[in-house]
Amino acid sequence: MKLADKKIYLASKSPRRRELLRQIGIDFELLLNDKEVDEQVLPDEKPAAYVARVTRDKLMSARQTMLYRQLPMRPILAADTTVVIDDLILGKPADMKEAVEMITRLSGRTHQVLTSIAVAFQEQMWQITQYSDVAFETLTDDMIRAYCSTQEPYDKAGGYGIQGLASIFIKDIAGSHSGIMGLPLFETAQLLQNAGLRILPPATL
């Protein structure tokens, strides 16, 4: 499978995903969906099914945009991340009250971060969901309120990002650091290589 060029489309607004793609040398162009994807959790929908569905919806919406705009055919990458504890999906807190509730729930416990990634090229699609465990130390009420008084919780699933201020709360992780950030690079590389993209340059020796 040959590509017209080595660039992909990224169907994500996340600055962290852009940073991670640059880290492994992937050239990309943003392809934001013309239509917003519904990210509401369906009745009785399990976290793994939810994050996989939302990722596929983002991917298919971006693909329709590519075809409608008659853009060059390239692999499209979409991803979605969710934070889960007690089988409950924690979205982005709407206000300080929600942020305090979320961080209080995470305090002193281990939760899961699920990131699903999907790549489409031509008529094929590949998808993987990566799971990581994150353990928070036990936080005082003052620590929680001080953290939630910053801007950090309000654009992140679960009210925190591992690369930000909340990193001082994290005792241990088991899984993928980049996956917790929003794009597991091992799995991402696998899917892009399935689509025919070369990640490493050719050997010169």
Our CA angle for 55, 61, 63, nearest 5°, is 105
- The token pair at 93 is 């807190």
Of 27, 38, 44, 80, which one is the catalytic site residue? 80
CB 55 within 8 A of CB 79: yes
Told to judge if 27 belongs to the known catalytic residues of this protein, a careful annotator would answer no
* Cα atoms in the 13 Å half-sphere on the side-chain side of 64: 11
96-106 vs 141-148: helix crossing angle, rounded to 10: 140
In DSSP notation, 83-111 reads EEETTEEE---SSHHHHHHHHHHHTTSEE
Tell the burial category of 113 from Cβ atoms under 10 Å away from its Cβ (0-12, 13-18, 19+). Answer: buried
Buried b (16+ CB within 10 A) or exposed e, 70-81: eeeebbbbbbbb
Give the C-alpha separation, 164 to 154, whole Å.
12
Q: Which residues are catalytic?
A: 80
